[in-house]
Structure 1
Amino acid sequence: MTSIALTPYTPADRPWLVEAHGRLYAEAEGFDQSFPRLVDEILQGFEAAHDPTCEHGWIARDAGQPLGSIFCVRQEDETAKLRLFLLLPEARGKGLGQRLLDRCMGFAREAGYRRMTLWTHESHRAACALYARNGFSCLRSTPVQNFSVALVEQQWERPL
């Protein structure tokens, strides 16, 4: 996986990222079309207003082909938020998720954040295990109805 490049997100990546999120979450969890619309809104907001000194997005690429993404955005002065962490199924289990997470957390530390938070779903067992191995703690789990399915949303956090 070391030949895979982690490149900065650009607006040209948005169509792929929206489509990949929509397709993978529909297949794996039955999410409706409100989910890719939300991803598109998040990315449009990032493109319009992110501060590159403390917010960044990366796309993992193999020979130019996108395999995954991760974003670090400002939640509060001392708190970074991890967003849009995605790996295509063919890229999973090879250490790429750890590489992306390491890059994101390293950037957050360099930007001066003191902690990182994220939201995920309990059903994302591999991602939750990765977060736990990297010092994140689950602060709360809340049953919700989102994207036309019953989910258990979780908030995780760790000091940096």
Structure 2
Amino acid sequence: MAVPDVRVAMVRAFNRFYTNVIGVLRNGMLGTAYSLTEARVLYELAQREHTEVAELRRTLDIDAGYLSRLLARFESAGLVARERSRLDGRRQVIRLTDRGTATYAELDTRSARQVRGLLEPLDEPQQRQVIAAMTTIQTLLGDPEGRAAPTPVTLRPPRSGDYGWVVHRHAALYARDHGWDETFEVAVARLVADFLQRRDLRREAAWIAELDGQPVGSVFCTAVDATTATLALLLVEPTARGHGIGTALVEECVRFARHAGYQRMTMCTADILEAGARLARRAGFQPTQAEPRERFGQRFLRQEWSRPL
């Protein structure tokens, strides 16, 4: 996909801002004599008892000659020790010495103190917002560390403002991804308003999915009649997919409906919503009806699904 020049400029502006904030352009990292690259090498060595030099170079993706000179300086300073690999004498294995470990610990302490200082002026929601934004960047740009530590997902009842969020995100995402017009926003707003006006706390419920303190999904359980409930307004933000959020929302909705005494549950999707169909089948729903519709400025096949409880 082509990238507009303005987006390139915005990413570069962010890079300049953040490198200035954390001070990586100064002579020494965190008030020490070490550069950012040197600090990163110490970090990688501290994560394992020992490592081969070739593996360290691949991990950091830096020039072999530059890494060799850097390690030679570390060795002269007593921070690292090198020896031949026991498995292959042609390869070098490197590890931190006690002095190197102490040096890394000091850098780690200073780094944690600096980050804490950046976050402390922010209130709790703002801190969560910063962390969520950083997680999104890691995930979308394919950082392996971002994928290695999945963030726990929380399901909770909606709070004030969440109902408006549900309407807004449905309207914005369906307009962007499927070209649905403003009449869809009206329909969603009406569903939410009806839910709030008639809601029976014993028989109807809604959930918001949170990731890093930010709303990223929703689902509603509403009554059709005394024996049938419907699963509605299921949404997962595109940037939050892959965390099992859709499955968790559907399972929670089905569980509530069963405990509330319903005998059957339905849900509706459209043929263009392939993810919704996959979630329905996975949760035990079966297709019961399909009919063409011309609504929200588009033509699609409305699909109804059902399952016993």
TM-score band by shorter chain is over 0.9
Q: 1:142 aligns with which of 287, 291, 294?
A: 291
Q: Residue 108 of structure 1: CA displacement?
A: 0.4
Q: Per-residue CA shift, 1:68-124, capped at 9, x if unaligned?
A: 000101111111100100000011122111111110000000000111001110111
Distance 1:73 1:11 in 2: 19
Tell me which of 199, 205, 222 is aligned to 1:73: 222
Contact 1:9 1:56 in 2 (8 A): no
Structure 1: state its 5+ residue gaps: none
Counterpart CA distance in 2 for 1:115 and 1:2 is: 33
TM score, norm. by length of structure 2: 0.50
Matched, 1:115 2:283: no
Higher helix share: 2
Contact 2:151 2:211 in 1 (8 A): no
Match of 1:13 in 2: 162
1:41 to 177, 190, 195: 190
Aligned twin of 1:152: 301
Identity %: 39
**What corresponds to 2:49 in structure 1?**
none
Distance 1:45 1:10 in 2: 17
- SS of 1:76's partner is coil
TM-superposed CA distance for 1:11, in Å, is: 4.3
CA distance in 1, matches of 2:266, 2:160: 24
Which of 91, 95, 99 is equivalent to 2:244? 95
Cα RMSD of the aligned pairs, angstroms, is 1.2
Secondary structure of residue in 1 paired with 2:207: strand
2:171 corresponds, among 13, 16, 22, to 22
Query: RCO greater where, 1 or 2, for CA within 8 Å and sep 6 or more?
Result: 1
Inter-partner Cα distance in structure 1 for 2:176 and 2:159 = 26
Q: Which stretches in structure 2 are left out of the alignment for 5+ residues?
A: 1-149
Runs of 4+ in structure 1 deviating by more than 2 angstroms, as ranges, are none
Q: How many residues align?
A: 160
Q: Classify the secondary structure of the residue corresponding to 2:161.
A: helix
Deviation at 1:3, TM superposition (A): 2.1
Q: Give the CA deviation at 1:10.
A: 3.4
Cα deviation for residue 64 of structure 1 reads 2.6
Equivalent pair of 2:154/2:209 in contact (CA under 8 Å): yes
